[in-house]
Amino acid sequence: MFIDEARIYIKAGDGGDGCVAFRREKYVPRGGPSGGDGGKGADIIAESSLRHNTLIHFRFHPEFRGERGHHGEGSGRTGRDGEDTVLKVPVGTLVYDEGTGELLHDFARPDERVALARGGRGGRGNTRFATSTHQAPREFERGFPGEERRLRLELRLLADVGLVGYPNVGKSTLISRLSAARPKIADYPFTTLEPHLGVVYIDEFNSFVLADVPGLIEGAHHGHGLGARFLRHLERTRLLAHMIDVSDESDRDPVQDFHVILRELESFNPQLAQKPTLVVASKIDAVQNPERLEKLGVFCRDSNLPFFPISAVTGAGLDALKFRMAEMVREARWEQTAKA
């Protein structure tokens, strides 16, 4: 099950109490206060991991409490600190404070560690309160409470190329042909109910990640169809591949298809519509009337959009599309590196 959003409650460990104690050794002529300090409470730490690709483990375990610090002991012994609680999150997870809406951290790289809630400081033992005029103190401090928060976790997949388009235009078939991903493929709409990632290998030193998101229909940003909840996964992509069915099975106008999906992207996030885009005319093996294909090709040439007619079934045009995607991804990476 793919879960890309979760709400959790975290509570860091409280600090341990300070101790009240006095020395009682047989051959020590003058005893004195010997109470140790309490230990520090455990922190709640989030760590990004490549071993996780969903937030499902938070959906069924939404509450995390850190271990409290141990109390101080006699003979000046400090209590043991609580052991930190580490929460593993997928790379691409954004952590928000649910109360304020503040973005606490964006886990864009693996093995990042961030403390989301700090454990409480341990209380002082009575040794800390001894002075020259107050040599037998019985004062001590209670441990301080750990921080607590309610958080919202949102996963956005990290991919180089995002496939967009109407349902049943061949996105799942294409990603299965270009990569080792094996999404469900069927001849009915909304076969894809969750995003899929696949790695496309060009050569030993060149590859990119391809993302297939569930199909969109007109009014998706209003909740029609599967809605636009999966579009957040396209926000991190470097370019979009807009797939359009040009076969005789489709009764929609291909150019109108492009404009409808573009409006849905703009309604969700205007920056999505500004990403580099190439147009993929799918299912050319099922074209009997070439007018639909020609109309889309003319529109792309007039709009200066890269245009690739393909058939994921026969393999026609797949190599040209794959190498062009790799070239555009490489250019986008160089541009991002130059800006950094």
State how far the Cα of 10 lies from the Cα of 203, in Å rounded to an integer.
45
Where are the domain boundaries for CATH 3.40.50.300 in the chain? 161-339
Taking residues 41-65, report their average pLDDT: 90
Q: Which two tokens stand for residue 231?
A: 């579009």
CATH superfamily of 161-339: P-loop containing nucleotide triphosphate hydrolases (3.40.50.300)
Where are the domain boundaries for CATH 2.70.210.12 in the chain? 5-155
pTM to 2 decimal places: 0.71
Q: H or E segment at 210?
A: strand 206-212
**Reading across the β-sheet that carries 148-155, which strands appear in turn?**
63-65, 5-11, 148-155, 93-97, 103-107
Task: State the amino acid at position 203 in one-letter form.
Answer: D
Q: Which two tokens stand for residue 83?
A: 């052991």
Per-residue pLDDT tens digits for 150-197: 999 988 877 889 888 888 888 888 888 888 766 544 443 444 446 777
Greatest CA span in the chain, whole angstroms? 107
The crossing angle, in degrees rounded to 10, of helices 171-178 and 318-339 is: 80
Per-residue pLDDT tens digits for 94-140: 999 999 999 999 998 889 999 999 999 999 999 999 998 898 899 99
* CATH no. of 5-155: 2.70.210.12
CB atoms within 10 A of CB 320: 12
Q: Which two tokens stand for residue 203?
A: 């050569």
Q: H or E segment at 85?
A: strand 85-90
The pLDDT confidence band at residue 212, using thresholds 50, 70 and 90, is confident
